[in-house]
Amino acid sequence: MLLLAGLGNPGPRYADNRHNIGCMAVDEIVRRHSFSPWRSRFQALCAEGSLAGEKVLALKPQTYMNESGRAVGEALRFYKLAPEDVIVLYDEIDLAPGKLRVKQGGGTGGHNGIRSLEAHIGKDFWRVRLGVGHPGDKDLVHGHVLSDFAKADKVWLDKLLDAVSAEIPLLAAGEAPRFMSRVAEVMSPPRPHKPKPEDRPKPAKDGESAALPSPKSDD
């Protein structure tokens, strides 16, 4: 069994904040993969479902960001799970908007929700960091994360949430590198192939038609 936690602050006032992108991602996962309706448990909103054949409890702490670990810790102890069975999705100001990184363990990066989780369940949980960008001045960080996404952000935000929800079964199956690469492909698709010099039409001389490349034989 896995716990899939999306961090944020409860209530409509905070619903569209950058700080709540983890909750937004879990909402989209629950919707796409037809989890059960949300209900209150463990000081959180919880929904049950499965990903890649694995039973999953999706969880949105209702304790405010700074106390996120209380809800996750309570659920973890109830199901007798280990920290490595927990996947946490949250905002990351040190990643450009739309970027994503996944790792197990690590530091808090100054994130109060992650600091609370480490205090309650240790450091060995999986972290899905969702980039929301940095305001450029550390004194502006608090206002930045507690502000709503701008209308211009909706293009990349919807794309990211859709990609994360579509590819999350890979992460549930233990394929973190493949999950990251698939999401990255959606967010930054490869550039179109440029033709090689030998494939390009040769410039025509005066009075001649342009020479097209000879068809390649299958032999």
Active site (catalytic) residues: 19
* Unique residue bearing structure tokens 């280990």: 82
Greatest pairwise CA separation for the chain in angstroms: 84
Least Cα distance to 56 among 85, 84, 25 occurs for: 85
Least Cα distance to 51 among 105, 84, 4, 100 occurs for: 4
Angle at 49 between CA 23 and CA 39, to 5 degrees: 60
List, as one string, the DSSP characters of 129-193.
EEE----SSGGGHHHHHTSBPPGGGHHHHHHHHHHHHHHHHHHHTT-HHHHHHHHHHHHSPPPPP
Least Cα distance to 28 among 207, 157, 170, 142 occurs for: 157
